[in-house]
Amino acid sequence: MAAEKQKTTLRLLHFYRPAILLKNCSTKNAVFWLCTAENSKKRSISQTKVLVERTASDAFAGYRSAFAVFIFMEILELKDRFCEHAQFIKGMLPSTIRRYQTVLKLFVRRSGILRLEDATPEAVRKFFFEGRTRYGWGAQTFHSYHKTLSVFFKWCIREKLFASSPLADIEVPKIARTLKPKLTKEAALRLLEVARNYPYATHFHRVRNHAIFATFIYTGLRKQELLKLQFADVDIPNLTLFVRRGKGAKDRIVPMSQNLATILGAYVTEREWLGRTCAEFFVSHTHNVGMCDSSLRHLINDIRAASGVTFTAHKLRHTFATLMLEGGCDIYSLSRMLGHSDISTTTIYLAASAEHLRAQMTKHPLNGMAGLA
């Protein structure tokens, strides 16, 4: 009889979070409210009563050392707590939080693993295997899903919701070190020319958009770094940009050329004439707010179509790195300007710059010696 009641209790606990049942209580019969932390979209009931019969006679004051916690958590419910922890405690960027949410939702939908306890190594391995064979994941996609789920399960372990990670024995494919796509010097110049002479609706659009593409090509900022760039962080007289909380929550200083300083100076003049006072450097034409991601995306699409140059914002970052190497910049300084944590990440640009490699061949000690050719 007692075993049957325990099974009934566990079945009820399967649907609600979190549930703590005290094993030792001074009363014979105890009623516990099992409450969800938030209303579930799938269920309208948020509370239920469970009558649990107790026969233990230990004092209630000793419950801290004698209680059992039965937590049957749904992964989608845990997702919100995990993302809140990542955002407010660890300070992850909004883009990282969106990736966490997307990966966990897709993991539940494709794997059919709804509860945390069902995330066995075999079930998780099947999810990754189908990703490679059925959905055609590349190595980079595999790594992205593996990294996100690894962080999630480690958080579950720290919260004492899970004993061990089901990813421990799953191998990850090697990522090929391919050459970074970039623009040639001629294509970069054409892009800047089109950005300046495009038939915009206002002169402000012309000056601002030219400044945006010049900033990409002359500094190598990431897209989100450019959108979050603050007016106070652009020091034109001293030719520096201060990037706050870039990728990995790292600050860095990026020098600017005199050409870029002139272009940004013209934009600042138009910005002040328009009466913009918001904190963001690149602002909207119609409102006193920073330029949004969708506006920048539309701008890139327009200039791409008008110039005939195929590019993305990140490709302009690769272009900056390659052109800097071809101009003689050392790899350490370039790594600092790009905000790379590991200088080995920057070395991939060495192979992408054929001009830089050819220039290094002139340093061979046997070059120019008579009788060897």
Give pLDDT tens digits for 107-134: 999 999 999 999 999 999 999 999 999 9
- What are the pLDDT digits (tens) for 197-218? 999 999 999 999 999 999 999 9
**Pairing label, strands 47-53, 29-35:** antiparallel
Residue 346, pLDDT > 90, answer no
**What's the pLDDT score for residue 348?**
78
Residue 286, pLDDT > 60, answer yes
314 — phi, psi (to 5°)?
-75, -30
Residue closest to 272 by CA, chosen among 227, 208, 216: 208
Find the DSSP H helices in 19-120.
75-84, 94-111
**What's the pLDDT score for residue 162?**
86
Residue 26, pLDDT > 50, answer no
Locate the domains of the chain by residue range.
2-70, 75-158, 185-357
Is residue 73 very low, low, confident or very high in pLDDT (cuts 50, 70, 90)? Answer: low
pLDDT averaged over every residue in the chain: 81
Express as a percent the part of the chain with pLDDT over 70: 76
**What's the pLDDT score for residue 6?**
47
Q: How far is CA 302 from CA 76, 194, 318, 351, in A?
A: 39, 10, 21, 31
The pair of three-digit structure tokens given for residue 307, joined into one six-digit string = 């110039």
Q: Which residue would you say has higher pLDDT here, 188 or 331?
A: 188
91: helix, strand or coil: coil
- How long, in residues, is the chain? 373
- What are the pLDDT digits (tens) for 76-90? 999 999 999 999 999
Q: Which residue would you say has higher pLDDT here, 258 or 64?
A: 258
Q: How far is CA 146 from CA 127, 139, 149, 360, in A?
A: 11, 10, 5, 39
The predicted model gives 325-343 an average pLDDT of 89
Residue 101, pLDDT > 90, answer yes
CATH of domain 185-357: 1.10.443.10
**Pairing label, strands 67-70, 234-235:** unpaired
Q: Which residue has the tokens 């949410």?
A: 101
The model scores a pTM over 0.75: no
- What are the pLDDT digits (tens) for 220-252? 999 999 999 999 999 999 999 999 978 777 899
- What are the pLDDT digits (tens) for 44-54? 333 333 333 33
Q: How far is CA 180 from CA 43, 85, 297, 336, in A?
A: 49, 34, 21, 18
Give bridge partners of residue 48 from the DSSP assignment. 34
Residue 272, pLDDT > 70, answer yes
**What's the pLDDT score for residue 373?**
55
Residue 5, pLDDT > 80, answer no
**What's the pLDDT score for residue 176?**
80
Determine the angle formed by the axes of helices 293-307 and 185-197, rounding to 10 degrees: 110
Q: Which residue would you say has higher pLDDT here, 15 or 330?
A: 330
